[in-house]
Amino acid sequence: MKFFGCNSAEQQAACYDDCGKSTAAQIELFTACAGTSICDPACRTNITPKPAGGGPVTGGGASPSSCGTACDKLVACSFVKVGDKANCLNVCEKEAYQYQIDCVNNTECGKIQSACGGGSSGGSSSSGGSGGGEAVSIARCQSACDQLRFTECFDAAAQSTCRAKCSASTTAKRDTFSSCMSTSTQCTTGNACYASF
């Protein structure tokens, strides 16, 4: 993540520290997630201890100029509706990770979701913002459930439960599960991905 400019030196040190305190399963999930979506901050939730309040993990906000450029780009790429641009700017400046906003600004539209993170790219909220990104996120998640059924890691009931969970879950959780499953070739790994979902 540091190599691709997704981490500051302090964040890299904190990441190493988190890895030292994590289980082998957490590290495997983090590695799988980061391997498929390099700058996605949701990957870090696999190794970072949950916040004391139990709320979502967010960044400290990005610079106003980079947020403006990123939100304009997300509108142009159809990830954020024009009417949601003000909310995009607000969330970006308060909660985004600067490295993820830089990733959005430096990546072409078709590669933003895979390189920078899922439907919540650029600070748009998972409940509002990008209907298209949300649909893609759900489809990828349900495809991961189907993969578990196809490889006989799931029975039909478990597949159905998994698909329903995809529709009800947040974009960050869905995308972390999908990213984890994209590198899973065995039931043990696949079941570990689902258990963390």
- 35-45 confidence digits (pLDDT tens): 666 677 667 66
Tokens of 73: 């780009």
Quick one: what percent of the chain has pLDDT higher than 90? Answer: 4
Task: Say whether pLDDT at 25 is over 50.
Answer: yes
- What pLDDT digit, counting tens, does each position of 53-82 carry? 444 445 677 888 889 998 999 888 888 888
* pLDDT tens digits, one per residue of 127-159: 333 345 677 778 788 888 888 888 888 888 888
User: pTM for this structure?
Assistant: 0.40
- Dihedral sign for Cα 124, 129, 134, 135, please: negative
Q: Parse the chain into domains and list their residue ranges.
A: 64-129, 132-196
String of DSSP letters for 87-149: HHHHHHHHH--HHHHHHHHTS-GGGHHHHH-STTGGG--SSSS-HHHHHHHHHHHHHHHHHHH
Residues ≥6 apart with Cβ < 8 Å to 103: 5, 6, 38, 39, 112, 115, 116, 117
Q: Does 46 or 161 have the greater pLDDT score?
A: 161
Q: What is the mean predicted confidence (pLDDT) over 170-175?
A: 87
What count of other Cβ atoms lies within 10 Å of the Cβ of residue 190? 19
CA dihedral 22, 24, 26, 30 (to 10 degrees): 110
- Rounded CA-CA distance 195/192 in Å is 5
Between 133 and 124, the more confident residue is 133
Average pLDDT, the chain: 76
